[in-house]
Amino acid sequence: QLTMSLNSPNLLNEEKAQEAKRNTECLESLLQTPSSFQDNPLQQLQLASQEVLEKAKKSGRSKCPRCNSSRMFYCYTCFVPVETVPTTEIPTVKLPLKIDIIKHPNETDGKSTAVHAKLLAPDDVTIYKYPCIPKYEEKRHEIALVFPGPSSVSVKDIAFHLQKYTKKGVCASDDDCSREPLLKQAKIEPEEEKTSNECISSNRSEGTRLKKIIFIDSTWNQTNKIITDERLQGLLQIELKTRKTCFWRHQKGKPDTYLSTIEAIYYFLVDYHQEILKESYKGQYDNLLFFFSFMYTLIKDAKCCAGKE
């Protein structure tokens, strides 16, 4: 033991030198060749070509076309790709409903995956920085919040639980039907033809009631401030219980079913497509993980090469 302790400084210096060499060789390798990580759980995704990201990786950081900041792949403050990643080569995803992302003010912009959703589905995603968020109370019959908790329900039960808002009397009179026709769906008889287009839309299936889904973008330790905000009270809460995260910044002490923001959005939409829209899923939303899957593989390979896994 004494001999080992006397020699330990030399041993540590040697180990550090070897580790530094391994890391250098690893990074050089990653910059030269595409990843070949074999057990990537995201490899079955139907993604657009990621060649544009491979090229950007080799050329290094580039400028944001709006703020001129130096970034890799995209600017996380302007929500646009950098100059080396042409917008025309980035896939665009059309979503079946609108998404609001409420971002905690202390959440580090560069670490958040919420921007992926805005980059890839710009027409359907809005990002708010708390406390500047909308008031949802008057629309709570068509909005849900993805957040785990004792009162959370599964995606397949969304329609059933949204129907309860009608029964609770959110819309109490016939006059209200012209303002919020969807709430009167359960009381409309087949022979009661409505002349307004809005009331005709109330004959649609219950699944189409959901118009917007809300996600909170923050560390799990920061969520309490947002989830207890009075503007989010009374909203139906959804929990994704069967999915496991692949996020490389997974927080210690939290279950692996606690997903990153972009994973939560993706898995919710897949379940919504199958459980509510009752349609077979054929990869329609896979490109939401266009950036995430590329970064996952890149970081996983770097860790393996460095001997950390």
pTM above 0.85, yes or no: no
- For CA atoms 215, 219, 221, 222, the dihedral sign is negative
251 falls in which pLDDT band (50, 70, 90)? low
State how far Cα 291 lies from the chain centre: 11
Tokens 């990643």 correspond to: 85
Q: What tokens does 239 get?
A: 């929990």
pLDDT higher than 90, residue 183: no
Identify which of 230, 233, 234, 237 has the alpha carbon closest to the alpha carbon of residue 214. 237
**Residue % of the chain over a pLDDT of 90:** 50
Asked if the model's pLDDT at residue 194 lies above 50, the reply is no
- Average pLDDT value for residue range 152-176: 69
Helix (H, G, I), strand (E, B) or coil at 140: coil
Average pLDDT over residues 266-293: 95
237 pLDDT higher than 60: yes
Instruction: Provide the pLDDT for residue 178.
Output: 35
Give the span between the Cα atoms of 97 and 87, in whole angstroms.
23
Q: What is the pLDDT of the chain when averaged over all its residues?
A: 77
Q: Which pLDDT score is estimated for 230?
A: 94
pLDDT at 209: 83
Is residue 155's pLDDT more than 90? yes
pLDDT band at 211; cut points 50, 70, 90: very high
Partner residues linked to 238 by β-bridges: 146, 153
- 53 pLDDT higher than 50: yes
Per-residue confidence (pLDDT) for residue 200, from 0 to 100: 32
pLDDT given at position 20: 54
Q: How confident is the model at residue 29 (pLDDT cuts 50, 70, 90)?
A: very low
- Cβ-proximal residues to 257 (8 Å cutoff; 6+ apart), any chain: 148, 240, 241, 242, 243, 244, 245
